[in-house]
Amino acid sequence: MIFKMENVNLVYDIGKEMQTYALKDINLSIDGNRLIGIMGPSGGGKSSLLYALAGFKIPTSGEVYYEEKDYSKISTAKSADIRKKEFGFIFQRHFLIDYMTVLENVLVPINNDSSEAKNKAISILKELGLEHLINKKPYQLSGGQRQRVAIARALITDPKVIFADEPTAALDHKSAIEVMNFLENYKKDKLIIVVTHDSSILKDADYIINMMDGAIESIDNKKGGIL
């Protein structure tokens, strides 16, 4: 199992009159390599689930394991090290650096501009259909192209898991589908977890976890097999 959550609650405003359960009694096991969607209304707990799996948010009660390691039992340095080496992140905003070229942006996570590193970045950019844009700056690209650069940047460390929080929310439908199609290619050898409001971009998801008021309301199993 890559991830396991046992009886996880994430509660805000403890001690106050009204508490919010960002996560409520979550039990979940996730194995790779597959594409998993997390859906639900605003405030339903989608981002909380993603960031709890990534070890950014430590739950109020319950355990979250990544490859048998309990985040609450390892140091914050170790947990940060796992994120740096084994996880890639893509957000709604691309967070590319405007004064750097596309190629330089992709190299940021590895802080290495050797020709070997550059060749690796170029080959990833090629897979994402961006080889003609490597020397452009982010502001010279379309929104969809910028998100594809953000995917390349997430892939440069060869992560085992890609976490994406509303990666296509700022894009028009056509660019959103295109970005998702590129992202899906990587599920052959990675676990990809995508939060979205838009079910149409999850046509090729293996599972969709539906969140409501912090709880898992249902899990759609679209391709058979176990989660």
Ligand X SMILES: Nc1ncnc2c1ncn2[C@@H]1O[C@H](COP(=O)(O)OP(=O)(O)OP(=O)(O)O)[C@@H](O)[C@H]1O
Q: Which residues bind ligand X (CB under 6 A)?
A: 12, 20, 22, 40, 42-48
CB of residue 52 to Mg ion, shortest distance in Å: 12
CB of residue 193 to ligand X, shortest distance in Å: 13
Nearer CB in complex with Mg ion: 54/102: 54
Nearer CB in complex with Mg ion: 49/152: 49
Residues within window 168-227 making contact with Mg ion, judged by CB under 5 A: none
88 interface partner picked from Mg ion, ligand X, none, CB below 5 to 8 A per type: none
CB of residue 41 to ligand X, shortest distance in Å: 7
Nearer CB in complex with ligand X: 44/159: 44
42 interface partner picked from Mg ion, ligand X, none, CB below 5 to 8 A per type: ligand X
Nearer CB in complex with ligand X: 10/141: 10
Residues in binding contact with Mg ion, number by CB under 5 A: 1
Q: In the set 9, 20, 47, 60, which binds Mg ion (CB under 5 A)?
A: 47
**Using CA atoms, how far apart are residues 185 and 103, in angstroms rounded to an integer?**
21
Nearer CB in complex with ligand X: 20/101: 20
* Torsion region of 219: left, alpha or beta (phi above 0 gives left; psi -120 to 50 gives alpha): beta
